[in-house]
Amino acid sequence: MQFTFNEEQDQLRATAQKFLADKSPTVEVRRLMETHQGYDPIVWAQLSSELGFTATHIPETYGGLGLSYAELGILFEEMGRTLLCAPFLATALGATAIMNVATESEKSELLPDIATGTRIATLAVFESFGKWDTDSIELTAKNNRLNGTKRYVLDGHIANFIIVVARTTNRNGADNIGFFLVDGDAPGLKRRVVKTIDSTRKLTQLEFVDVAARRLGGNADQSAKLAETLDLAAIGLANEMVGGAQHLVDETVKYAAERIQFGRAIGSFQAIKHKCADMLLDVEMAKSAAYYAATAAASSDPELPVLANLAKAAASEAYMRIAAECIQIHGGIGFTWDNDTHLWFKRAKSSEVFFGDPSYHKEQLVTRWQH
Amino acid sequence: MQPLDGEKLRNELRLWLESNWDPNASLIEWRSKLAESGWGMPTWPSQWFGKDLSLVFNPIVDEEFARINAVTVARSGIRLLAAATILEHGNDSQKSRYLRRILTGEDTWCQLFSEPGSGSDLAGAITRADFDGSQWIINGQKVWTTSAHHADYGLLLARTDWEAPKHDGLSYFVIDMHQTGVNVHPLKQMNGHASFNQVFFTDAVVAPEDQVDRIGNGWKVAMTTLMHERRSADTLRSVHRDRDLEGRIYDEERDETATVMEPYKWYPQRAGRVDLVFERAIETGKIDDPVVRQAIAELMIKARTAEWTARRARAAQQQGRPQGPEGSLGKLAASHVARQASKVHTMISGSDSMLGDEDGPLAGLIAEILISVPATSIAGGTDEIQRNIIAERVLGMPKEPRMDTGPFRDVMKNPGPAAP
């Protein structure tokens, strides 16, 4: 296992940092979060067709760069740091799902457009409250027609196509989980942007009434593939989260050095210093897990499922603790709308529970460790 | 000096070892040869038992020793810290008197820095050294001294000037531990072990030639010792050796190791014994308790992320990259792991957590964990000091205003021997 980033990876990070500093300052984040669309198509075109970010982990055969989840993790981290408003996580997960389940010809058909950013994809899995596993899927697929509701779908309102996980019935009448491809503007599909606490990332509810769909990757049960896809989603999100957490640590330390009370910078008080030291410890530990898991995903490590739980649980708790402490150390100003901290706090809160909250991942971690 | 070729060096060492190594020699006899030839500490100066080799050749040297299971010079315990300090700050007379017997293992050493009144604030030492015209007279008390009960010499930090500011009034000495003015008592810990000592000085003496570096420069010298302590903790080279080797020299070395390692036998328990958690949880059935499962998961997350963070730091170091903040976090992370492990062991053992020794789980091992873990967040720098260091040196946060400037005599301190 590799414990440092190589030169190419450092370069990728530098490129991303430069681009995002320019394109995603908080003034832009604040502008885009108020829009219905939630992203800037020009910036999206630049990060995809010019910089190739959307092509990162897609194999070269399908028009991608043939890099790995480790590189994708770097991009997630940098986008999380700057709260980039764009359907990147959605599209990357859509691509991951396709790469996991689709046939060669389906991949050749779908992935090149994702790689170039011409088409935005998303993954629709979750339905009921608080359930993040295969058991919770009730949306049905019968004769390639979908009926049911998907919730918490990333950027579903702008996706050109949606990868929908559905429950189907095979010839023997046994239950079966399958991945289906649906056009974003398919008749019978009702898409609604739901109100969220984190408006920098759009979540949608999708209602399917007899919507035409195409099964991807044949008719065999794909529940194992779903578990794998969700593990990769958790690892991706964990990497995004540590980027945001690092931003908050940096901001807190900066503010503590500037803010004067009782005739001294508040950062000179041990009460504040010790909080900051703990925040640094939190973010570095969470980074170690996120990086390790992303590297493991790149090498198909058999321990991957456990690492996904571990990285997501670690990142969720670290990011949330750090966000709360960041506001605390900012004091009253930290609770105002004008101060930027709440943007990250809200991202931390929604990411904490997205793809499973820490207690869900901890329980799964022990279960998987036992087997 | 000519650039040295690693393979040439390897051949030279291999030839030397082949014609000199004898598993039936006495430990002192063999180590004397190592000291004289320079192969014992090849990175030391050739004038002082070394070969002026660069550190990069250490792995080759270690490999050659390991290849034939050859014993090395004595490098455990405080010895090498003493040697490194004397090499850097000592005069030639001190080097010729002490270095050789450190390498042969004939002399053992202890470090006399911490005091009852100065733990985290080491520079607040009040053990005094007064010059009576012919020698230094030492009075005061040191504490947490590993191996003081069998040490021949001590590295002593003592106050020689009470008018100077705190750090400037300290001087550094080598003190002969075998004298009537030095009394060593074991310090019994809350877990029943006594790994350390308290050392009392009552008009103990130090000859002027055992003053290390100049008067008033003691803090700087002590920093050298501590830096080597940290470095040896990071990179302690242990040469691989097969087990159960036969020969007089191995028997003698085993006895030496047993003595040196005796104080550390409870250290694995101090770290929390994460390795026992799963099997204990299964054995007791607590693995089915969802609350316990959450706590176990938290422990595994802490333990593994701490391990990965340490590996990130090491990898950066090996590649010669600037070390990131991850290098400063290990100690704090270890405290979190130990504390969580103690919590989980308590959850798993339930009411049996009250029982110890032969009545307790795993013949008292669990009890030993529960009553040893508090040491982790104190020994070698408390968590609070670690947080200060991380905040000020890694995050660059502003320093706390100081209350201990000006003449040391006027600085508020714990009760102890009164200033003259």
pLDDT recorded at residue B270: 95
- DSSP strand pairing (A260-261 vs B128-131): unpaired
pLDDT recorded at residue B314: 85
How many CA atoms are closer than 13 Å to the CA of B18, on its beta-carbon side? 6
Note whether A268 contacts B401, CB cutoff 8 Å.
yes
Q: Is B17 in contact with B28 (CB distance < 8 Å)?
A: no
CATH numeric code, A224-370: 1.20.140.10
pLDDT recorded at residue B32: 97
Tokens 């820490």 locate to A358
| Rg of chain A on CA atoms, in Å | 21
Instruction: State the first-to-last Cα distance of chain A, in angstroms, to the nearest integer.
Output: 23
As annotated, the residues of chain A forming the CATH 2.40.110.10 domain(s) are 122-221
pLDDT recorded at residue A218: 92
Note whether A280 contacts B329, CB cutoff 8 Å.
yes
Cα B175 to its chain centre, rounded Å, is 19
Q: Is A137 in contact with A178 (CB distance < 8 Å)?
A: no
Residues of chain B with pLDDT under 70: 1-4, 232-240, 323, 327, 416-420
How many CA atoms are closer than 13 Å to the CA of B79, on its beta-carbon side? 20
DSSP letters for B23-65: TTS-HHHHHHHHHHHT-SSTTS-GGGTS----GGGHHHHHHHH
The confidence band for A342, taking pLDDT boundaries of 50, 70 and 90, is very high
A3 touches chain B (CB under 8 A): yes
Which residue type, as a one-letter code, is found at position B159?
R
Query: What is the spatial distance between Cα A43 and Cα A19, in angstroms, rounded to a whole number?
Result: 10
Q: Please compute the mean of the pLDDT values over residues A216-223 and round it to a whole number.
A: 93
The confidence band for A172, taking pLDDT boundaries of 50, 70 and 90, is low
CA distance B347 to chain A (A): 16
pLDDT recorded at residue A136: 81
Note whether A362 contacts B386, CB cutoff 8 Å.
no
* Cβ atoms within 10 Å, residue B385: 15
Assembly ipTM: 0.95
Q: CATH homologous superfamily of domain A7-119? A: Acyl-CoA dehydrogenase/oxidase, N-terminal domain (1.10.540.10)
Note whether B399 contacts A265, CB cutoff 8 Å.
no
Tokens of A347: 């991202």
pLDDT recorded at residue B356: 96
Partners of residue B329 in chain A, C-beta under 8 Å: 280-281, 284-285
Q: Please compute the mean of the pLDDT values over residues A144-154 and round it to a whole number.
A: 96
Alpha-carbon distances, residue B151 vs B204, B206, B210 (angstroms) = 16, 16, 16
Q: Is A164 in contact with A94 (CB distance < 8 Å)?
A: no
A163 touches chain B (CB under 8 A): no
As annotated, the residues of chain A forming the CATH 1.10.540.10 domain(s) are 7-119
Interface of A with B in 88-127 (CB under 8 A): none
pLDDT recorded at residue B317: 78
pLDDT recorded at residue B1: 47
- At residue A140, does pLDDT exceed 50? yes
Alpha-carbon distances, residue B30 vs A204, B49, B348, B377 (angstroms) = 77, 14, 51, 40
Pick the residue from chain A with its C-alpha nearest to B301.
Answer: A310
Q: Please compute the mean of the pLDDT values over residues A3-17 and round it to a whole number.
A: 96
pLDDT recorded at residue B417: 58
Give me the domains of chain B, ranges plus CATH numbers. Answer: 6-72+239-263 (no CATH), 89-235 (2.40.110.10), 279-394 (1.20.140.10)
* Cβ atoms within 10 Å, residue B351: 6
The confidence band for A294, taking pLDDT boundaries of 50, 70 and 90, is very high
Phi/psi of residue B11, nearest 5 degrees: -65, -40
Nearest to B397 among A3, A257, A310 (CB): A257
Q: Which residues contact B267 (CB under 8 A, 6 or more apart)?
A: none
CATH numeric code, A122-221: 2.40.110.10
Query: What is the spatial distance between Cα A233 and Cα A354, in angstroms, rounded to a whole number?
Result: 10
How many CA atoms are closer than 13 Å to the CA of B367, on its beta-carbon side? 16
Query: What is the spatial distance between Cα B365 and Cα B370, in angstroms, rounded to a whole number?
Result: 9
Query: What is the spatial distance between Cα A225 and Cα A137, in angstroms, rounded to a whole number?
Result: 14
A260 touches chain B (CB under 8 A): no
As annotated, the residues of chain A forming the CATH 1.20.140.10 domain(s) are 224-370
Partners of residue A286 in chain B, C-beta under 8 Å: 305
CA distance A361 to chain B (A): 9
